[in-house]
A = this chain, B = another copy of it.
Amino acid sequence: MELLKQRILKDGRALSEQVLLVDSFLNHQVDVKLMQACGEEFARRFADAGVTRIATIESSGIAPAAMTALAMDLPLVILKKSVSSILKDGIIQREVFSFTKNAPYLLTLKTHFVTPGDNVLLIDDFLANGEAAFGGIALLEKAGAKIAGVGAVIAKTFQPGMDKLRAAGYRVEALAPVKAMSEGKIEF
């Protein structure tokens, strides 16, 4: 997606070979028009996939996932990283390790919001090691859903997540696949 790649080149910052800072338009300050364009692009790419529901992982995926749900006219389910005291009944959980935060968290889904007939498109801001995506997929499948695919706004394709997901048979679309990075340099 050219618009997004240009924005990453303009406002993103490669801090190292691993770390891409995009907090000025994606995950702290959010350019909602750009997120809307991302949502429309996901809708276009997965138009033939029979998607019945959008899911995302709390919280940086919420804005692009909400715009995807809007573009596809589908409900959104947010897989939660922390469980409110009033959300205790009928939940399933899975431990996921966050490399960014260097700590595990319990990804949580109320099974009531995903049904066995569902074909879910999982949207997230980043795809890197694939931990969050595999955790989300495991929860959704445990709830009886099929996975229509995984959509990442940005994928660091030099990290193993995308390859592992595809090797496991999942369709993956990345709007901006980053092939390589080094300090100050980003390559698609």
Contacts and interface: CB of A to CB of B under 8 A. Distances in A.
Contact of A73 (B28, B33, B70, B87): B33
Q: Tell me how many chains of this kind the complex includes.
A: 2
A45 B124 CA distance: 32
B29 A70 contact: no
Interface in A68-115: 69-70, 73, 75-78, 80, 82, 84-87, 100-102, 110, 112-113
A140 interface: no
A27 B110 CA distance: 12
Contacts of A77: 28-30
Given A32-B69, A62-B66, A70-B33, A100 B85 contact: yes
Given A29-B76, A101-B82, A36 B70 contact: yes
B66 A35 contact: yes
Nearest to A31: B75
Interface of A: 15, 19, 21, 23-24, 27-33, 35-36, 58-59, 62-63, 66-67, 69-70, 73, 75-78, 80, 82, 84-87, 100-102, 110, 112-113
6 contacts: A23-B87, A27-B78, A29-B110, A30-B69, A59-B59, A84-B101
